[in-house]
Each structure stands twice: as structure tokens, then as C-alpha cells.
A and B are shown apart, each in its own frame.
Chain A
Amino acid sequence: MVAHRRPVASGMTDTAAASPIPQRRAGAQAWWNAVNAWLLLLPAAVLLVAFTHYPILATIRHSLFITKRNGTEVFIGLDSYQGMAADPIFWKALINNFWFALGTIPTSIALALVMAIWVNRNMRGRGFLRLAYFTPTVLPMIAVANIWLFFYTPDYGLLDQLRGVFGLGGWNWLGDPSTVMGCLIVMVIWKEAGFFMIFYLAALQQLSPDLDEAAAIEGASRWYTFRRITFPLLMPTTLFVAINAVINSFKLVDHLVIMTKGGPNNASTLLLYYIYEVAFTFQDSSYAATLTVVLLLLLSAVALVKFGYLDRRIHYQ
């Protein structure tokens, strides 16, 4: 067979003439590249659309309708939102959630960092210590809630037995609106700090020990080195952990179901727990959708702050 070569078009420059692929074929190649790329993205895109984007849009739509007993939907516009604004329990849940986030996030992150630095050193029993800190994460949440339920039980719970040693009377920790939120915060810090510690530990092990040594030779104290070198280099981890902590603080449901059911008098109701109650106890899916939209807005705001602002100010390796 004889291979026929196309004559090169007269107007072409030297470089174009020298390129092995004629222009039309290059165009086809680019098109195929794009098709390939989209095909590769397709599985993930399908999952994302089916289980994230579509449900979000459906939720927003659903919050604008109510469903009658016979199954027909009636458009009610922003009525649900007006009802929500007038719902004291919603506001209570939102404010509770705010205090809950404020109570758990900074403390659990700080604790995680301290523990990570502590177990990152060379010492005997390091593996055991790391495991001990990580245990709360491994335990099933139902079990965790039950253990803490025992701690907080009035009169014969661990806490009250300790109080008894000092001659103090029993206290209904979870039954009192003034202590129930504090009790939950302590438990969640205990559970999350160990999990976050793993991320800090991994990040610390990525840092070259040379940096510490270089700082030591320059005369930097350990605190100074931490402040100017270690902590700034851990910022990507801190951000990641903080985002997770925020999400978790809005995600807490299971412990509430077992320990307090949002009580007493809604003192421990958090936003997601309230959504759960509205949707499945009161069977008001339209109002639940409305509340969900609020939750989505809150979390999107967090994501926006991360991508729009914090990412630009943090040094990534």
C-alpha cells in the first residue's frame, strides 16, 4: 500500500507545516479529549447530582409547598418561612446550636493540638497513648452516649458519686436546663478531640525536624518556634479540622436521641435534632424542608468563608 501524503497548504508557517498533525485532526483530538474527560467525570457527577444537588433543589422546592392528607401539593410560597420566624423552638434550637458550636469547636481543636504535640514526642508508651486518645472515635456513638449517660445519672452516676465524696448532694445533670448543654459539650469535646488529634499528628509528622533544629540554633524558644513556625505550618490542618468541627456541631443527633431527646424544655435541642423531630415525630415534612434550607445556608456560608477567604491566607505546602 502506498501512503498518500496531503500537500501542505501554501499559507502555512514553517512551524505549522512542521507539526506532524494537520490542523483538522488536532481539532478532532481536542474534541475527543473533552469527551474523554467528561466520560471520566460522569460517574462522580451522577452521584453528586443524584444525591446532593437534586435533593437540595427538591428540598428548597418542598419548603414552598404543603402536602395535603390525600397527597396533593399546594403552593404556599414563603408561609413556612414566616411560620419558622415566629417559631420560638426554632430560635431556641438555633441559639443552642450557636452556644454548642462555640463551646465545642475551639476547645476540641486546642485539645487535639496539645495532645498531638504530646504524643508526637519520642517516649515510652507512645503507641498506647495515641490509641487511648483515639478510642473515643472508634467507639460506636450509641455506646458512647450510654457511657456518658451513666456518668451523668443523678445520685448513683459517676459524677454524683464523686460529689458524694465531698459531701455534696445529687444533681440531675441532664435534667436541669442550666447544666444539660454543658454536659453535652464536655462529651462531644471528649469524642472529637481524639479524632482531630490524628490529623494534627499526621501533619506534625510531615514537618521536617530540621525546621525545629534550625530555629533552635537561631535561639528560638520552644514557644516562639511553635508560634512562628509550627502553628502557621499546621494552618491547613487547623482549617480542615475547624470545618469538620463546624459541620459536626450541626450534625449532632444520635447522642441527643439517647441522652436528652432535646429536653428539658428544649434546653438541648439543636437544629438538626429539631429537623428530625419535625420531620419524623410531627410528620411535617414541609416545615422540616424549610428548616433544612436554613441549615444548608449556614453550612454554605461556612464553605464560602473557607474557599473565598481563608484559603488565600494560609500557606499550603
Chain B
Amino acid sequence: MSVITLSRVSKFWGAMRAVDDVSLTADEGSLLVLLGPSGCGKSTTLRLIAGLEEADAGTISLGGADVTHLTPAQRKISMVFQSYALFPHLSVAENIVFGLRVRRVSRAERDARLKRVADIVGLSHLLERKPSQLSGGQRQRVALGRAIIAEARICLMDEPLSNLDAKLRHEMRTEIRALQQRLGMTMIYVTHDQTEAMTMADRVVLMRDGRIEQSGSPEELYNHPATAFTARFIGTPPMNLLRQDDRLIGVRPEHVQIVAGGDHAARVKAVEHLGADSIVLCEIYGQPISVRLEGFSKVQPGEDVRIAWDAAREHHFDSKSEVRLDDIANEDRLAASSQ
């Protein structure tokens, strides 16, 4: 059952279409990631759902009720801000129970819920501190605590991890996902980091210039990009796109191999060693192509190699519209090759 439904929602800033005719749904208890480059309208979409901006067109419904013209408070949601938006003069405990005090929840229940939430987010020993005395990761936990204590069924997150260092980001990613599943919240999560989208999402909505570029499971977006934009956005390193006449041939780096007697002559430009695998940046026919090799690759920059890939792994896009061309043809070929 879908808890969040946006239908044909638009938001304009003057002539600019920040959000342009966006429709999406999120199922109960799922995590939906709004993904896209900066300025694509993902944060505005989130703010529209939160009620911090009012939609110029379209309707938004939460839990079956039309909330298009309701205030943020009436929408009964919780939200984590990119800046965390912690109240700097209040202690951790006061920050977390802020909403409960607003709603005049009794002191006994407030304390009980604070204790429970502090345990969940691991802040029990820091409740008396001020936000300025906390590390980035701890502040993030306070913001999480404040979001979950209300026990709202819908939680919105606006790039919550972008202020953390890489290691902490990885940790919190797992934690937020676990928390979301444990509490059964429906979560909309905005990020520009495709890794976060791939690892956390049940469903990814990729946006571009205020429109939805593609929406689907992480697997679909990775294995079946509907446009060259999606192909370039998902995956590190992104899909190689080689221009050939009026079309773009896309092939993932891990599907390209360096083999003696391969189909294409290539020259190695650079090698990045990541430990478990290596990314070899080559050039074929004057176009860059990256190759992912397992382990510690021994090829040297400047070396001439031959590369090859399975034609069944190719994705084809129209070079002008960048739309996927060969849906049906490719499917057939894959089916044939697997027999």
C-alpha cells in the first residue's frame, strides 16, 4: 500500500521549474531515495512533501489523506535536515523531546520515550551536553533521535550524511537503514550520492532538471538504465558510453576485459588501484573507457592492450535524445545467450 503519493506536482521559482510535473509513490515501510545532481529539484520535492514549500500544481497525499494545503505540523511527519537544525542552546535531551513538549506530552511519558530513543541512537550518556560539545556523528544521532521520538510513520531526510566523513557515513548509512526497517517507517531520503541510493533504497527516483529521469529498484537502474543520464549517474566508475554513429554504446567497466586478441585496440592512460580491484582508464578510438579488473592490475600507463566485452552486456542509447533504444532486442539476445 502506498503511503506517500505525489501526483503531477510542480513548483516554480519565477521562470525556473524547480519541480516539474513529478508523480511518485512510496510503499508503506519502504525507503525511497530521491537521487540526482545538485539543483535537480530533489530537495524541493522533499520540502514540498514536508509542507515547507507549497506546490504550485498537483496534489500530495500522505497515508491516503490529501495534505497539499496543510501545514508541516498537520502532516504528522518527521524530518532530518542536512544541517541537522539542532537548537544550539538546548541540551541533547531537550532537543530530542522538543516536539513532545510542544504537543504537551506528560513528563512521565516524555522521560520514558526519551530513554528509549536515547538507547536506540546511543546517546544515553550525552543527554546533558549541548550540540556544540558533540562530534558530527553524535549531532547526526541527535537529529535522528528527534525524528523518531515522535513516532511519525513518515520520516523525511534531506542529505543527512553529507556533513560526515567517509567512514562515519558508511556506518550511519547502515544504521539509518536498520532503524528504518526496525521501526517500520516509510522514509524519503534525499541524496546526491549514488552509493547511498544503491545501498539503502528499496526504490530510487532519479531526478534531473526538476523531472523524474527514471524510477525503479536500485538493480533496475543499474542493469537497465532508461537513459544515458541514468547510465552515467549510477555506478562508480560510471558506465562507459562510446559514441558510434547515431547511437551511444554503453558498457559497464566490470564487463570489459583486457584479453590478448581482444576485439579493440586500446592504450592505457592511467591505473587506479582500489585494493580489491583496479580501474584501468584506457582510450579506444579517441574515446575514454574504464575497465574494472580484479585484484592488483599490473598494466602500465602507456601500454597498448586489447580489450573486449560481451555484446549481450551492451546498452544502446540514441545519441540525440539519450533514450534507451534496444530494450526488446537486447532482452532477446540476453535470453538467447543464457540458454
Contacts and interface: CB of A to CB of B under 8 A. Distances in A.
A and B interact: yes
Given A208-B83, A210-B83, A224-B102, A217 B77 contact: yes
B85 A210 contact: yes
B73 A217 contact: yes
B79 to A, nearest CB: 5
Contacts of A229: 87
Interface string B145-159: 010001000000000
Given A217-B73, A217-B79, A219-B99, A211 B85 contact: yes
A219 B78 CA distance: 10
Nearest to B74: A219
A145 interface: no
Contact of B98 (A210, A215, A233, A317): A215
* Chain B interface size, under 10 / 10 to 19 / 20 to 34 / 35 or more: 20 to 34
A211 B83 CA distance: 9
Nearest to A225: B102
Contact of B81 (A214, A228, A232, A233): A214
Contact of A214 (B77, B79, B132): B79
A218 B85 contact: no
* Chain A interface size, under 10 / 10 to 19 / 20 to 34 / 35 or more: 10 to 19
A317 B51 CA distance: 29
A315 interface: yes
- For the residues of A in contact with B, the DSSP-based class is helix
A305 B110 CA distance: 36
B89 interface: yes
A217 B87 contact: no
Interface in B44-89: 50-52, 71-73, 77-79, 81, 83, 85, 87-89
B150 A218 contact: yes
A216 interface: yes
B219 to A, nearest CB: 33
Interface in A9-63: none
A215 B102 CA distance: 9
Interface in A264-317: 315, 317
Interface of B: 50-52, 71-73, 77-79, 81, 83, 85, 87-89, 98-99, 102-103, 130, 132, 146, 150
Given A216-B72, A219-B102, A229-B87, 5 more contacts: A217-B77, A218-B146, A220-B99, A220-B102, A232-B89
24 contacts: A208-B83, A210-B83, A210-B85, A211-B85, A213-B81, A214-B85, A215-B102, A216-B72, A216-B73, A217-B52, A217-B79, A218-B73, A218-B98, A218-B99, A218-B102, A219-B73, A219-B102, A220-B98, A220-B99, A224-B102, A228-B98, A232-B89, A233-B89, A317-B88
